[in-house]
A = this chain, B = another copy of it.
Amino acid sequence: MAITLSQLAAELGLSTSTVSRAFSHPERLTAETVSRVLAAAQRHAYQPNRFAKALTTGKSMNIGLVVPDIANPFFPPLIKAAQHRARAHGYSVYVADGDENPKEEWNQLTHFAGHVDGVVLCSPRMSTTKLREIPAQDRVILVNREVPNMPCILIDSTVGMHQAVDHLVSLGHHEIAYIGGPARSWANTQRRKAVLERCRHHGLEPALLGPYVSTHEAGVDAARKLGRTAVTAAIAFDDVLAVGLVSGLQEAGLRVPEDLSVVGCDDVITEHTAPPLTSVSGGAATAGRVAVDALLSSFEGGSIGASRTVLPTELVVRRSTGPAR
């Protein structure tokens, strides 16, 4: 149906190579030839066949994006940003859902092999050993996971978490709890550590709860545990847990922030909450954008190398935090 390059060539009485060059190396042709070709292409709404192109050039103009769970509120903004960035450079993005399952994640990844130019692997659930076995290491960029010699984008929650602790302390809180995320999560380790060290900096010893999986229910559950303590403020591993926590507290008749202040992390579902959630904003969207940028620039400049980009975070104060009771 669609017109092909050689049909265009035939119509113009030119060779296929000339027409091809009109697009890829116009400078090697007469200006007139180029404009004739372009005009004809326009007229017929000529669209080069991506498969033929990919076959000869070895470039697919596709990038793959693997996330553990598309519906996890952390990822949509990231996917969206990645998609926009890729699109702006003529790339299409495949989105694959790893189903929170290392094996499925691996399947998705290998399924991409050969038909993407690179892949953004977000918060992989697979083991480090497995990560190292991924073919074409130089065409994979990790988000939220660090493995020596693999390029990665990390969101450093440290600063944001420090700000969160400072914020709570300045509101008069002395009994602070950290609601831990998934046991093997890199982000959780980092966030817990940040809370711990900043609390100690203030001469406080935080209560450490968890590990919890990142679900609303887990947050509600944490609220039950918290109800029986002297804690007046809690910092949760992420927004999902934080919102569950708020929910559980309100269920128990406690008010946020009057009875207990709550801080989330990631800043992705803060709009859907009441009260609006104070959260450590990391810019999931930024991560998506930066990851694609790194990939794309590696396509031109060789490999990404062992690049390691750390994205900063900052506390966004809303209304789920207030003075200690």
User: Which B residues touch A97, using CB under 8 A?
Assistant: 80, 83-84
From 23 to 66 in chain A, residues with beta carbon under 8 angstroms from any chain B beta carbon are 47, 49-52, 54-55, 60
Whether A7 is near chain B, meaning CB under 8 Å from some CB there, is: no
Could you tell me if A250 and B275 are in contact, using CB atoms closer than 8 angstroms? yes
Could you tell me if A216 and B271 are in contact, using CB atoms closer than 8 angstroms? yes
Which residue on chain B has the smallest CB distance to residue A250? B274
Could you tell me if B60 and A70 are in contact, using CB atoms closer than 8 angstroms? no
User: Which B residues touch A73, using CB under 8 A?
Assistant: 73, 76, 272
Whether A92 is near chain B, meaning CB under 8 Å from some CB there, is: yes
A116 CB to nearest chain B CB (Å): 9
A269 CB to nearest chain B CB (Å): 5
A8 CB to nearest chain B CB (Å): 15
User: Which B residues touch A49, using CB under 8 A?
Assistant: 55, 114
Could you tell me if A274 and B272 are in contact, using CB atoms closer than 8 angstroms? no
From 1 to 33 in chain A, residues with beta carbon under 8 angstroms from any chain B beta carbon are 2
Could you tell me if A92 and B92 are in contact, using CB atoms closer than 8 angstroms? no
Could you say which of A79, A274, A275 has the most chain B C-beta atoms within 10 Å of its C-beta?
A274
Whether A96 is near chain B, meaning CB under 8 Å from some CB there, is: yes
User: Which B residues touch A115, using CB under 8 A?
Assistant: 50-51, 92
A contact residues, total (Cβ < 8 Å): 48
Whether A246 is near chain B, meaning CB under 8 Å from some CB there, is: yes
Whether A235 is near chain B, meaning CB under 8 Å from some CB there, is: no
From 87 to 120 in chain A, residues with beta carbon under 8 angstroms from any chain B beta carbon are 87, 92-97, 99, 108, 111-115
Q: Kindly state the separation between the CA atoms of A54 and B276 in the bound complex, as whole angstroms.
A: 50
Q: Given that A76-B76, A87-B108 are known contacts, is A216 also in contact with B114, CB under 8 Å in the complex? A: no
Whether A170 is near chain B, meaning CB under 8 Å from some CB there, is: no
A321 CB to nearest chain B CB (Å): 16
A179 CB to nearest chain B CB (Å): 16
Which residue on chain B has the smallest CB distance to residue A284? B71
- Looking at the complex, which one of B69, B114, B273 makes contact with A50 (CB distance below 8 Å)? B114
Could you tell me if B243 and A274 are in contact, using CB atoms closer than 8 angstroms? yes
Whether A258 is near chain B, meaning CB under 8 Å from some CB there, is: no
Q: A93-B95, A94-B94, A247-B276 are in contact. List 6 more A-B contacts (CB 8 A).
A: A51-B51, A71-B76, A84-B97, A216-B271, A247-B274, A247-B275
